[in-house]
Amino acid sequence: MKKDIRNYTLEGLKKEIASFGEPAHRAAQIFSWLNQRNAENFKEMTNLPKSFIEKLEEKYFVGHLVCEERSMSKDGTEKFLWKLRDGKHIESVLIKDKKRNTVCLSTQVGCKFKCPFCASGSAGFKRNLQVSEIVNQVLAVQKRHSLRVTNIVFMGMGEPLDNYRNLVKAIHIINHPRGLALGARKITVSTCGLVPGILKMKDLGLQVELSVSLHAASDTLRDKLVPVNRKYPIKELITACREYYDATGRVVTLEYTLVRGMNDSLKEADKLAGIAKRLKAKVNLIVCSGLTEDDYEKPEKAKTEAFQARLRSGGVTTTLRRSKGEDIMAACGQLAAKKSTR
């Protein structure tokens, strides 16, 4: 069976190409064609000998994504629904502002972790994405709009650290100067709190940003909102985040989705401030979109503002993010989940 050549890092390609008896620089040429010029087939690689192209075509194919649906929100957020080779669906979201083109990427089809307010979790886990399927989300968005993606967040469908090997290979391709050449600090990995993955990632030697979906400042509540907390409780999670900060120097972001009547009290704000200060972390507050289960409703505006003010007065750097693209269901997995139930 032919293999997808986009699944390889430059190091991996060098090993693959070694058996062809071609000069070593061929791997770098192919890597650049794939990731800098987004070549869709080997014939486009005009600086490779014809005989070598024929040999490559016998063993490999160049993977790509098929855009099945696209929707544009009133706020400019654009959602892409991609069809994979096996007919499954994933999503990416493009968020443009004056200075940045940020793409939110999926890493799995569905998710195992069943956070109750998340559509990806409720759709169940299907499979990990291959390296090619992760990187192709960036390349396909760039191609469609003739733009350069400036920031990447692994915050779409799936838990990135649960697909650790492929995530790291994708990051290497995206970060490599002959790949997509995007600085590590422009790449954010968002996790629900998989402690072993955080600890492995701190030793990568990359300054990738880490964002943790905390959503609750006590174990009792977090067990409910982020069920993986039963395995990796807050204390263990915070220790791992602290180690990440110490090893990389990157300030960790704590994501906290405010849900009406559940985690939006000032008492919770004080507990959250305590954690953030211990960690030297910043807090990103998100207003619950209210699009999934009935129990999870948007908090009142005044409560949201009071919560944020309390964190600030406690000395915590805080931003407030309204859910983008609500009219096109841009929160992770909502469109693909809808597709899988059709």
Residues with a known catalytic role: 91, 332
Residue of the chain from 5, 30, 118, 225 that contacts ligand SF4 (CB under 6 A): 118
Residue of the chain from 29, 120, 128, 334 that contacts ligand SF4 (CB under 6 A): 120
What length is written for the chain? 342
Residues 18-21: contacts with CB under 8 Å, at least 24 apart: 20/52, 20/55, 20/56
Q: Using CB under 6 A, which of the segments 1-9, 118-126, 145-153, 173-181 binds ligand SF4?
A: 118-126
Q: Is 263 in the site for ligand SF4 (CB under 6 A)?
A: no
Q: Cβ–Cβ contacts within 10 Å for residue 250, how many?
A: 17
Residue with nearest beta carbon to ligand SF4: 121
How far apart, in whole angstroms, are the C-alpha atoms of residue 226 and residue 228?
6
Tell me how far apart the terminal alpha carbons of the chain are, to the nearest angstrom. 31
Structure-token pair, residue 235: 């204390």
Query: CB burial class (10 A; 0-12, 13-18, 19+) of residue 142?
Result: middle
Cα angle for residues 36, 6, 333 (degrees, 5° grid): 95
Question: CB neighbours of 51 closer than 8 A, spacing ≥ 6?
Answer: none
Site string for ligand SF4, 72-111 (x = CB under 6 A): ---------------------------------------x
- What is the smallest separation between the CB atom of 199 and ligand SF4, expressed in angstroms? 18
Residue of the chain from 114, 178, 224, 250 that contacts ligand SF4 (CB under 6 A): 114
Residues 208-237 that bind ligand SF4 (CB under 6 A): 213
Residue of the chain from 56, 81, 192, 311 that contacts ligand SF4 (CB under 6 A): 192
158/179 with CB nearer ligand SF4 = 158
Q: Is 27 in the site for ligand SF4 (CB under 6 A)?
A: no
Positions touching ligand SF4 (CB under 6 A) are 111, 113-115, 118, 120-121, 158-159, 192, 213, 332
